[in-house]
Structure 1
Amino acid sequence: MTPPKAHIPKAPAAAPVRTAREMGIMQGHPPAAEAIPGPSNWDLPPFNRWSFQNMRSLFPTADVPRGAGPVRALPSTHQDILPIDYKTLEGPRQTVRDWLNTSYTDGFLVMSRGQVVHESYHNDMGALTPHLSQSMAKSVVGTLAGVLHGEGSLDLDALMSDIVPEMAHSGYAGATLRNVLDMRSGVRFTEDYGIPGSDMTHIDIASGWRPPLPGAPVPTIRDVILGLPQERPHGEAFKYRSIETDVIAWALERSASQSLASLLSDRIWSRIGAERDAYFTVDRAGTALADGGFNATLRDYTRFGLMMLEGGAWDGVQIVPEAWVRASAAGDRSAYGEPYTATSPKGAYSRQWWIHDAERGDFMARGVFGQLIYIDPKTDFLAVKLSTWPDFLIHSYTVDMLAAVTAIRDALSPA
């Protein structure tokens, strides 16, 4: 999510953005061997342009049923936002139209004051196509923790080892659930994407997202958790580590005696008016990849974000405690420093949500390769972007994405 010091990818040279179909990915009967994503390259260009919309063709999954309730309507009042322009990180101004066409967009939806003002699909994506969330899943799981906390089954100050006794001999011994929710535990986890031997690569192998070394044993996600050491005192500054969400998921499952997919369906997905079932990718033990393996449609990500924008409620029912929603948008700025301030200088992090401007109270779910749910309660504004960038992290793309979204927000809600 945030560039490790050793890897700060730059924007690729300007080139036409082609669809997976135009590049021949998975085209033909059968496709050519070189056009088929493999275990080591499915999430890299050009293959991710196809893979992120077809995760079920690549990995085992667990359903998150939408239930039998009504679908939440998303009323629409089209407004032409494409000519809106903003200043890019590199300096020149760019229109929203050009940004959508050059930022590897798969889907983009904007809501202002309860109305969809823009909805567009790219790269052959459609309204009913599930798309990989990447780390937006963290915010979904953090929100689920808020539901269980509101039910009284989760104590934020409980020790992780009291919730999951197996953690008593891991780096999480002595950490509280609150520490982990805010990513302020003292556990070592190297968030280096695609680098052999990093902790991130270990979790990718465990989840089935990367092949193991020949002859090497394949751990489960929870084996990786139990093998992580403590490197600093718990409760210090925020440090982004994907594994923290998988730790939270374990605590949720243990507290409720339900799988993560089942819990999410019961407590949130069946209650927000989702149109389609969602799903998680799972490891060989059936454990959901909580930190990034969630998949849903653009409109259902919007419905989830809209529920948060409206204080955790829909259709007269409080789904997530309003106090939890407020806390998710109000983090401790003193715990939030470099390199994270390069993207959000006034930012913070709370309960698995990024806060863009802690004074304003706008907050967001973000994922590598350009996934975003941006929520601004002040102007009743919501934007969702699904993408397939050509690298995990491209700093200028992230900054420009937030600049574009906030420019749209301000144009629709002038001071």
Structure 2
Amino acid sequence: MTNATLPPKPAPKTARQLGIMQGFPPPPEKRPTLENWDLAPFNRWSFQNVRSLIPTVDVFRGFGPEARLDEAPEPLDDLSVPLDAGRVPLGRVLADTYTDGFLVMHRDRVVFERYFNGMAPETLHLSQSVAKSVVGLLAGAVHGDGRLDLDAPLADVVPEMRGCGYAGATLDQVLDMRSGVRFTEDYNTPGSDMTRIDIASGWRPHDRGQAPTTIRDVILTLPQVRPHGGMFDYRSIETDVAAWAVERTAGRALAPLLSERIWQAIGPARDAYFTVDTAGTALADGGFNATLRDYARLGRLVRNRGRAGGVQLVPEPWIDAMRQGDPSVFGEPWSLASPRGAYRRFWWIRDACRGDICAVGVFGQLIYVDPESDLVIAKLSTWPDFLMAELTRDTFRAIDAIRAALTDG
């Protein structure tokens, strides 16, 4: 990193500037399809309009009041962020990392909030794999009832799994993504398991002449290829497996269960929603949509050790365990970005010594929680590609600069 200030450059174009879905009707080449809706440049529009493309189910907010978020604005737009090529103001880092919404909460007050690319406070935005962390919190709430056995073989919880690789795995292993089941996490690659899930969930079109499959149809085809309980290996399907076990245990579908156990109690501004497959199964691993402030409310729930509105929604020991992963099972490539990192109960631990944790989704979605500095940050984005190491580094350098500015360390 250098200390030179970089000269300004053109910001990424918004969906409106790109002409996506502009006009009555929009021209065909500017309309997202199931083949391209989550790819650049169409994702700049579609991540804020998912339910215009894919079937969904509401996560009801209830009839209670919206939980107050006190504000104490801080002038952070010009905060200097050290990047590899030089120092850049925070406002430019946000633009260059294709931000749609960004919120900083410090000491339980909103100190910084910005919207880009046509997003507004009321806009619902796709969170991709942030959904996994939401499911992890829900699993904790149900486990707190004493009904969810983390150590039982999954085939005992969901008998349909007896014939697949997950039969002998436990929910505890799945929550940490340490089962021995094969799942190829190759995005948008024909024939990969991830692409099979995209098709089954309705995120990609089915092949002509083939009967539609569902998310759980795919789960039942996956084999075991190594002993359960080994090294961490990131596989989206683990969240769908866990959600199936949680639903079966609670006797409720994912969306209404989340509404009843967590969503209504945090006082959200709006209903959230999940995308669903042809069987009505919510895509637990990536189909969750909510407003920026409501993602921040989820972060605040974690910061407050599972408590909201005077009610303990997720047991404190569950939240504490999310911050206490084992770096020794967290190998490359993940440890390259976080050498002291870990993964626990569908949350990424950035530094196991500090205990700061993240909910992370492809294309730049993030909830960051650092209890040590009483800091919660939510970021919603539309990167040009699924994974972009440079934008990840720049985002976390911005977070570190904000943390230092607000807490002196």
TM over 0.5: yes
Match of 1:54 in 2: 49
Q: Report how many aligned residue pairs link the two structures.
A: 401
Aligned ranges 1:2-81 → 2 under 5 Å? 16-81=11-76
1:241-289 Cα deviation digits (max 9, x unpaired): 0000000110011001110001000000010011100000000000000
Deviation at 1:343, TM superposition (A): 1.8
The structure 2 residue matched to 1:250, chosen from 244, 266, 270, is 244
Distance in 2, Cα, partners of 1:15 & 1:72: 38
Residue identity opposite 1:46 in structure 2? P
Distance in 2, Cα, partners of 1:358 & 1:400: 21
Aligned ranges 1:4-403 → 2 under 5 Å? 16-88=11-83, 90-403=84-397
Contact 2:265 2:309 in 1 (8 A): no
C-alpha RMSD over aligned residues: 1.0
Q: Which structure exhibits the higher relative contact order, with contacts defined as CA atoms closer than 8 Å and separated by 6 or more residues? A: 1
Structure 2: 5+ residue stretches without partners: 1-8
Deviation at 1:370, TM superposition (A): 0.1
Distance in 2, Cα, partners of 1:138 & 1:95: 32
Distance in 1, Cα, partners of 2:173 & 2:87: 40
Residue identity opposite 1:33 in structure 2? P
Distance in 1, Cα, partners of 2:63 & 2:76: 35
Deviation at 1:212, TM superposition (A): 2.1
Q: Calculate percent identity across the aligned residue pairs.
A: 61
TM-score (norm 1): 0.95
Distance in 1, Cα, partners of 2:401 & 2:382: 22
Q: Structure 1 stretch 239-248 or stretch 337-346: which is displaced more?
A: 337-346
The answer as to 2:398 corresponding to 1:407 is: no
Deviation at 1:92, TM superposition (A): 2.5
1:87-136 Cα deviation digits (max 9, x unpaired): 32x44232211101111110000011111110010000000000001000
TM-score (norm 2): 0.96
Residue identity opposite 2:185 in structure 1? E
Deviation at 1:352, TM superposition (A): 0.3
Distance in 1, Cα, partners of 2:124 & 2:240: 22
Deviation at 1:231, TM superposition (A): 1.0
Residue 187 of structure 1 aligns to a residue in which SS?
A: coil
Distance in 2, Cα, partners of 1:100 & 1:388: 11
Residue 295 of structure 1 aligns to a residue in which SS?
A: strand
Structure 1: 5+ residue stretches without partners: 1-13
Distance in 2, Cα, partners of 1:297 & 1:203: 25
Distance in 2, Cα, partners of 1:315 & 1:306: 11
Match of 1:6 in 2: none
Residue identity opposite 1:336 in structure 2? F
Distance in 2, Cα, partners of 1:326 & 1:92: 37
Residue identity opposite 1:407 in structure 2? A
Deviation at 1:77, TM superposition (A): 0.7
Distance in 1, Cα, partners of 2:41 & 2:376: 29
Deviation at 1:70, TM superposition (A): 2.0
